[in-house]
Amino acid sequence: MADALKAEGNKLFAAKDFQGAAEKFSEAIDAEPTNHVLYSNRSGAYASLKQFDKALEDANKTTEIKPDWAKGWGRKGAALHGTGDLVASLDAYEEALKLDPANAQAKSGLASVQKAIDAEARADGITGDPSGGLGSMFNDPQLYQKLAKNPKTAPYLADSAFMNKLANMRNNPQAMSTEMMSDPRFLQVMGVMLGVDMSMAETDDADAAAARAMGGKDGDDEDMPMPDARPASKVEEVKEEPEPEDEEAVAAKKAKEEADKEKAEGTTLYKKRQFDDAISHYTKAWELHKDMTYLTNRSAAQFEKGDYQACVEDCKQAIEYGREVLADFKLIAKAFGRMGSAYEKMGDMANAVEYYQRSLTEHRTPDILSKLRAAEKAKIKAEKDAYLDPQKAEEARELGSQKFKDADWPAAVEAYSEMIKRAPEDPRGYSNRAACLIKLLTFPSAVTDCDLAIKQDPSFIRAYLRKAQALFAMKEYNKCIDACEEASAKDTEGKNAREIQQQSEKALQAQFASREGETDEQAQERIQRDPEILQILQDPVMNSILQQAKGDPAALQDHMKNPAIRSKVQKLMAAGVIRMGR
C-alpha cells in the first residue's frame, strides 16, 4: 500500500501537483511511518508549496530516521534556506557533502546559500575584507576534499580546534585577523586553494608557533611572534600537478568491474540452468557493488529454481533500493511483475493480481497485462472453488424447500442461490430457483435457470417442464411446445408423458384462442411477423409435404408419424397456416 501511494505521489509531484503529492505521501506515511524516503518526498512537496516550516519538520524526521543519508540533509538545507536560517542551511548542506561529496543537489544548494549570505553582507554595508579578498576562497564547496587530498593539509582535518577556526573563517571571512594569519596552517590551506606553496621558512620559531597553534607549549610558555613570510614577489611558483584520483572513486570503480564479472558469470550459469551457482555469483556481485539488476537477476534464478518466496524477497529488496537511487521505472515494473508471477506460482492469486497491477502502474506492457487478466480469472475461479461445500449446499436446499412451502419466495430464491454457489454442478439448485422465480413472475430469469439446469444434466426432465411453464406464461407458445417435445424425447420411460402432453396441448389451445376472430388479413400479417413460421414455410421438405397435402390430405397424416414433421405441422396449424376440415 505504501509503495503504491508513494508512486502516485511521485507522479503528482512530476505533474507539479504538489498539494496532491503531499497528500499521497501523507497517506503512505500513515501506512509505513518509519520509511525515511516518504518524509523526504513530502518535505520536497512542502518546499515546492513554500511551506518551509512543514518541509523542515519532515526533513528533521528524515535525518532522525536515517542520519547517514545525504539527501535527507539536502532536504533540511533547502527547508532552512526557505525559512531564512542561512547559517543552519549552510551547515546542513555541508553535512550532506561530507556523506556524499559528489551530491550535485547539495553542491548547488550550498552555492545558493553562500550567494544569499554574501548578498546580505553587501546589503548591510559589509564590503571590506581584511584579507584583501582572499577570505572568499574558504567558501569553496570542495575545500575539505582538496585539503584531504593534499598530504600537507590532510592531517589538519583531525584537529577539531583548527577545523572550528576554519569553519568560522568560511562563515565569516571578515574574521580573518592578524592572529589567525599568524598560524602557518592557514597559509598552507590558502596555498592549496591557490595552487602554490606558501609554507614558511623552517625555523625553530616557526616550529614553536606551530606547536602553540596545535595546542602545545614552547619552553617559555609565551606567544612568540611568527617570522614574516617570504615576500610575495619571491614566493616560488610551482606547477599545479593534477590532483590524484579519489581513492574512494577508484575503489568503487574497481568494485563495479568485479561485480559485473560476477554478474556475467552468474548469467552464463543461469543459461545452463545451474541456478544455485548463478545465485551465488549474483549474491557476490551485490556484496561487491550495489546495483538493482544484480538482485533482479538473482530473483529470476530463484524463480526458475522454484524458490518463489526467495524470489519475492529479492524483488522487494531490489525495488526498495531502486526507489532510493531513482532507478528506471521499467526496472521497478519488471521486479513487480516477477513478484506477481512468483505469487501466481504459489497459488496466491490475490497477491499476484496486486503486483501485476503495480507493475502496470510503473510501466504498461502487453505481457504483464495478459498475465493480469489471466490471474484475475484464476482468482475468481479459486474463490468459487474455495466456497464449494456439498454439505452446506444440502443445508441450503433444505432451507429453500421450507421457504418454498411457506410461500416465502424471495427467501427461497436466496437459499437456492446459496446452494448453487456451494454446488454449482447440481441441476436441482437452478431448477428449484426457477420454480421460485415463476412464482415471482420473473419468467425470463426462470428460463435462464432452466437452461443452466439442463446444461448440468440434459436428462433432467423437471427443468424442461419448468421452462415450458415459464415460456407459456410469456406467451411464447411455439417455444413452449418445443420444450415439451424435448422433455418427451428425454422421458424414455414415459413417467412424465401425461404432464408433458397436457402442457403441450395447453399451449396449442392458447395459440388457437389467441387468433380467434382474426381476419385473413390479420392472420397473414401475424404470420409474416413470426420468424419461426416463416422458417418452416421456407423449408423445401415442408414445402413439398404441404404441396402434396393439398391433393392428398391423408398423406399429411402419414408424414406426421415423424416427430419432427409432426411438430412443424402442429405449429403451422396453431398459427392458422393449415386449417383442417375446410
Written as one letter, the residue type at 484 is C
Q: Answer yes or no: is pLDDT of 479 > 60.
A: yes
Q: Which residue has the cell 557493488?
A: 289
> For residue 194, what pLDDT is reported?
64
514-541 residues labelled b (16+ CB within 10 A) or e (exposed) = eeeeeeeeeeeeebeeeeebeebbeeee
Q: Is residue 494 part of a domain?
A: yes
Q: Which residue has the cell 417442464?
A: 465
Across residues 186-197, what is the average pLDDT?
66
- Both 451 and 363 in one domain: the answer is no
Across residues 461-485, what is the average pLDDT?
92
Inter-CA distances, 183 with 138, 161, 165, 326, Å:
15, 12, 11, 46
pLDDT digits (tens, 9 = 90+) for 529-554: 778 788 888 888 888 888 887 777 77
Q: Is residue 297 part of a domain?
A: yes
**Which one has a higher pLDDT value, 580 or 407?**
407
pLDDT digits (tens, 9 = 90+) for 389-414: 999 999 999 999 999 999 999 999 99
Pairwise CA distance, residues 258 & 260, whole Å: 5
Domain boundary (97, 127, 157) is at: 127
- Both 263 and 371 in one domain: the answer is yes
Question: What's the grid cell of residue 548?
Answer: 402434396
Percent of the chain clearing pLDDT 90 (strictly above) = 48
- Both 463 and 569 in one domain: the answer is no
Contact 36, 66 (CB under 8 A): yes
**Which one has a higher pLDDT value, 139 or 395?**
395
**The CATH number of the domain where 480 resides is what?**
1.25.40.10
Residue 241: pLDDT band by 50, 70, 90 thresholds?
very low
Q: Is residue 197 part of a domain?
A: no
Q: Is residue 400 part of a domain?
A: yes
Q: Answer yes or no: is pLDDT of 189 > 90.
A: no
Q: Is residue 509 part of a domain?
A: yes
- Both 552 and 462 in one domain: the answer is no
Averaged confidence pLDDT in the chain = 82
Pairwise CA distance, residues 40 & 36, whole Å: 6
**The CATH number of the domain where 539 resides is what?**
1.10.260.100
Please state, as a whole number, how many other Cβ atoms lie within 10 Å of the Cβ of residue 127. 8
Q: Is residue 186 part of a domain?
A: no
Task: List, as one string, the DSSP characters of 373-424.
Answer: HHHHHHHHHHHHHHH--HHHHHHHHHHHHHHHHTT-HHHHHHHHHHHHHH-T
> For residue 262, what pLDDT is reported?
93
What is the domain extent for residue 551?
A: 526-582
- List CB contacts of 557: < 8 A, sequence separation 6 or more: none
Q: Which residue has the cell 468459487?
A: 384
Name which of 168, 204, 23, 165 is nearest 87 in CA terms.
168
Q: Is residue 44 part of a domain?
A: yes
Domain boundary (480, 514, 548) is at: 514
- Both 43 and 65 in one domain: the answer is yes
> For residue 114, what pLDDT is reported?
86
- Both 469 and 421 in one domain: the answer is yes
Q: Is residue 245 part of a domain?
A: no
- Both 333 and 353 in one domain: the answer is yes
Domain tally for the chain? 4
> For residue 141, what pLDDT is reported?
65
- Both 422 and 375 in one domain: the answer is no
- Both 352 and 314 in one domain: the answer is yes
CA R_g for the chain: 45
**Which one has a higher pLDDT value, 226 or 430?**
430
Q: Which residue has the cell 430464491?
A: 413
Domain boundary (514, 535, 559) is at: 514
> For residue 556, what pLDDT is reported?
76
What is the pTM for the complete model shown?
0.41
- Both 38 and 18 in one domain: the answer is yes
pLDDT digits (tens, 9 = 90+) for 343-377: 999 999 999 999 999 999 999 999 999 999 999 99
- Both 397 and 508 in one domain: the answer is yes
Most confident of 113-122, 349-358, 380-389, 553-562: 349-358
- Both 110 and 10 in one domain: the answer is yes
pLDDT digits (tens, 9 = 90+) for 64-112: 999 999 999 999 999 999 888 888 999 999 999 999 888 888 888 888 8
Pairwise CA distance, residues 382 & 376, whole Å: 10
